[in-house]
Amino acid sequence: MAVDTTNIPVPDQVADEMWAKVAQNSAVAALAGPMEMKYGDVKVMTFTADPVAELVGENAEKSPTPPQMTPKDVVPRKLQVTIRTSNEVMWADEDHKLGVFDAIQDKGSLAIARALDLVGIHKFNPLAGAAASTVNEGIVDTTLSVSLASQTDPTDYNAAIGAAEDLLIAAGSVPTGYAFDTAFANQVRKQKNSMGLRLEEARDVKVNGVGAYDGIVCASSNTISAIEETTAASTSPTGLKGIVGDWSAFKWGVQRDVKAELIEFGDPDGLGDLKRKNQVAIRLEVVYGIGIMDKDAFAKVVA
């Protein structure tokens, strides 16, 4: 049977609150502001190296400045969440229907927020808990990496973060933000110096949410390790603990706003015919544009 659908405009208040929750629950959104973009592949021009000015004497010829501009792609990525509920919601009054939207907002916005991190950092299909063959670049592809296991003291998390900072600066970038896995953030917060005192630079780190590390913005989320997704899908852990980066090199934006689609007929998600099960489905879709201008503008800390 063909799937019969009706588009439902998400109420403005709900949509605003939804995007507020995306900002709260996505480490990437907290560290790299969105850019406006149209639908489709977006070309962003970047320099192969920083240009250098030349002092030119009177009547002297001008020399070439070698750095050139090269285009980088910001690629559209469609994400969807489909939620089934009893078809009795269709008989309810408007207040009850808005309550359904509130529930969708809470769960759907969290899934959409996590998806931005999981695709942009890990190249994951969130539902599969593993890398998607259609995503060809992510922050995990950086060549700048520090392993906790290879450190003189694997529990000196501050030293590992410092080593990642050194790699980043040596590669020509300056840290603008940190992204920590929640468990790693908890370890960083609890680390003590030789006098038994907690480290000053880590006092504003939050286990979950946006804080600061050494005076620079720091976002903590378990999307950094993707532990929820790999555990649910029984796939291999990523081992990623933290990211030190120049987040201006991560470009993202919303190419198509969140739309809710009411589906009353058919089997839209493979779980059986809606009419037979006395259900309706509400599908949330958004299209992100995601692109990394320079993967080595990021250094990662791994297990």
For residue 84, the model assigns a pLDDT of 85
Positions of the chain with pLDDT under 50: 1-6, 8-10
For residue 238, the model assigns a pLDDT of 96
- CATH 3.30.190 at 5-46+68-302, yes or no: no
For residue 5, the model assigns a pLDDT of 42
For residue 54, the model assigns a pLDDT of 73
Question: What does DSSP say about strands 177-180 and 216-220: parallel, antiparallel, or unpaired?
Answer: parallel
Which residues have CB under 8 Å from 285's CB, separation 6+? Answer: 78, 79, 80, 256, 258, 259, 261
**pLDDT tens string 175-231:** 999 999 999 999 999 998 888 888 889 999 999 999 999 999 999 999 999 999 999
How far is the CA of 66 from the CAs of 31, 55, 273, in angstroms? 31, 15, 62
CA 225 to chain centre: 12
Which residue from 272, 164, 255, 172 is spatially nearest to 218, judged by alpha carbons?
A: 164
For residue 282, the model assigns a pLDDT of 81
Encoded tokens for 162: 């410092």
Domain boundaries, the chain: 5-46+68-302
| pTM check: above 0.85 | no
